[in-house]
Structure 1
Amino acid sequence: MERMRSSKEQPTRTSSSPPPRWAVRSARLIPLIVLPTGLWRLAMVCGFPSGYTEAGFVPFETPGAKMWMLTLSIVCELLALLSLGLVRPWGETLPGWLPVVGGRHVRPLAAVVPAAVGALTLTAIWAAMPWWWAYPHPDMTPVGSLVVGVLYQPLVLWGPLLGAITLSYHRRTRPRRLRAAH
């Protein structure tokens, strides 16, 4: 028998409005922004120097470096795909097929806090990327440096886009009583 929850245990749920079109487009764009760098790293895992000189590529030929690049590529793409949860129904109610937690409502702060921390962290990490070409890259060929710079430049958008989507999610999912006050 399921016990009844008091209003203190369960915050007032929203029948949240659908996300704005710009948020949906932005969430779909994030995995596409991350994909080129992941593919570039996967090429290095497969032994392609990907713009490095012969001497510059040597450190990437070790099994540890290959495992790191493979893991980094997969984790980055999975994290980028999580941004879709901020605009999809599964970001508010977990899918029923999930064991134990399926069908439960997602507490908005459980999504907002990690997404906001991620947005700030990504913004800080990639803030210097526009100056890629201002620094020498002696371990890369000139064409390799150009290609890497072009592939990594879109990552500058990852943090700000995630931040905007997070703010949109927060506004849509906060309890009615808080929305009415604003």
Structure 2
Amino acid sequence: MRIPGRRTSWPAYAAIGWAAVYTLLGLYWWAGGAWFPFGTGDPRAADDGALLAGATAPVLGPVTVALGLAGVAAGWAMSRRVRRPRPVLLVFGWTLAALLAVVLPESRAIKYLPPLGFIAFFRPPDPPTLNFLVLLVGGLVWAAATLGYARATRGACAACGHGPGRRHGAGAPGAWAVRWGRPVTYLAIAAPWVYAASRIGWAFGVPIGVPAEFLDTINANNPGHGTMIMELVLAGLAIGGSILTVGLIRPWGEIFPRWIPWLAGRRVPPAFPVGCAGLVSVGVTAFGLSMSRGLPEFFAGGMVVDGYQMNPLWALPPLAFLVWGPALALAALAYDARHPARCWDPAHAAGPRGLVLKTRANP
């Protein structure tokens, strides 16, 4: 049995296309083709791609082919809305999405996402970094495909998640959004300040988590006020993210404030804050994972980094990122539950008849 709704199947088709392309690339690399972007083919792997630093084309090529073929099969099943292997498809889809969007990109690809992306694109990404960005986009595509499939196979609209008897925007938000939405949003507001505090301290010569000699080296490499400007900009981005997160629980996150020209008094499209917060949460979580991978080695090695004796406060920013990212994602989901967007699937927006399930008794 399958569930109709071809208008909302485009993420599954996009996932199929993405998997097919990487299947062909895996075959090409396996056969000895050039431009292998991982491990031995990545000149910056030791610093910014440590997770795959030892990867070689003869090993990773067949793995890429296997995952690609599995992705094509899973994407096809999702596009057809088949029910029988639903748990397997959901586990595969969400695992692949997390692997591509959060685990593999590492720190250098995350720098090209908001908010750092506005600065990073002054230096175009090299081919391996561009490949990691493509992997990240693929992860987002697989997340969309898996979410649409999960919704459709439980009898809900793949576009907005509402059930057959409800139009878009109908009904009360889930109990979890009311109970946990505000506390988790407070957590997402507070977490960036841990990182911001360390950067502000460094900007004004306070060695938070580091010895004074470490700051002296940074200042020597950035003459004048270079260090102060750099650290304050980074701190400002984190603080700005914290302030914008407040909008998820304040009226100005629902209605544009008066000081915004042409938009004052208009309703904020729910997809705008949810989409922005969701994308930032992916980048923040991936960045936190990338930085925290070295923490066990950091503590096991006596907290020595590049010959400098650090203290435990050095580990707080990576841990704060690991809290910030998931908390921001949950805050965005709670906002979305409280402010459902208009369904973009015409079949559902027209009424519940567009969600009739096709069964053997109802062909």
Measured in 2, the distance between the counterparts of 1:106 and 1:168 equals 16
Question: Offset at 1:84?
Answer: 1.9
- Equivalent residue number for residue 200 of structure 2: 42
1:84 aligns with 2:272: no
Measured in 2, the distance between the counterparts of 1:91 and 1:171 equals 14
Match 1:28 to one of 186, 200, 206: 186
Measured in 2, the distance between the counterparts of 1:176 and 1:39 equals 40
Deviations 1:138-177 (A, max 9, x none): 343242xx11113541221111111111122222222466
Aligned residues between the structures: 169
- Equivalent residue number for residue 265 of structure 2: 103
Give unmatched runs, 5+ long, in structure 2: 1-167, 299-303, 356-363
Structure 2 length as normaliser, TM-score? 0.41
Relative contact order, higher structure (CA 8 A, sep 6+): 1
Give unmatched runs, 5+ long, in structure 1: 1-11
- Equivalent residue number for residue 158 of structure 1: 324
Of 52-61 and 90-99, deviating more is 52-61
CA RMSD of aligned residues (A): 3.0
Q: Partner amino acid for 1:174? A: P
Structure 1 length as normaliser, TM-score? 0.76
Measured in 2, the distance between the counterparts of 1:108 and 1:175 equals 6
Question: Offset at 1:65?
Answer: 2.2
Measured in 1, the distance between the counterparts of 2:276 and 2:188 equals 16
Of 117-126 and 148-157, deviating more is 148-157
Secondary structure of the equivalent of 2:263? coil
Could you tell me whether the CA contact under 8 Å between 1:130 and 1:153 is conserved in 2? no
Question: Offset at 1:14?
Answer: 7.5
Question: Offset at 1:124?
Answer: 0.6
Measured in 2, the distance between the counterparts of 1:96 and 1:104 equals 9
Measured in 1, the distance between the counterparts of 2:170 and 2:250 equals 15
Over 3 Å counting, the alpha-carbon distance change for 1:130 and 1:84 in structure 2 is: farther
Question: Offset at 1:74?
Answer: 1.3
Q: Partner amino acid for 1:134? A: E
- Equivalent residue number for residue 280 of structure 2: 118
Secondary structure of the equivalent of 2:191? helix
Of 157-166 and 127-136, deviating more is 127-136
Could you tell me whether the CA contact under 8 Å between 1:96 and 1:103 is conserved in 2? yes
Secondary structure of the equivalent of 1:49? coil
1:127 aligns with 2:289: yes
Q: Partner amino acid for 1:94? A: F
Work out which of the two has the higher radius of gyration on C-alpha atoms and give 1 or 2.
2
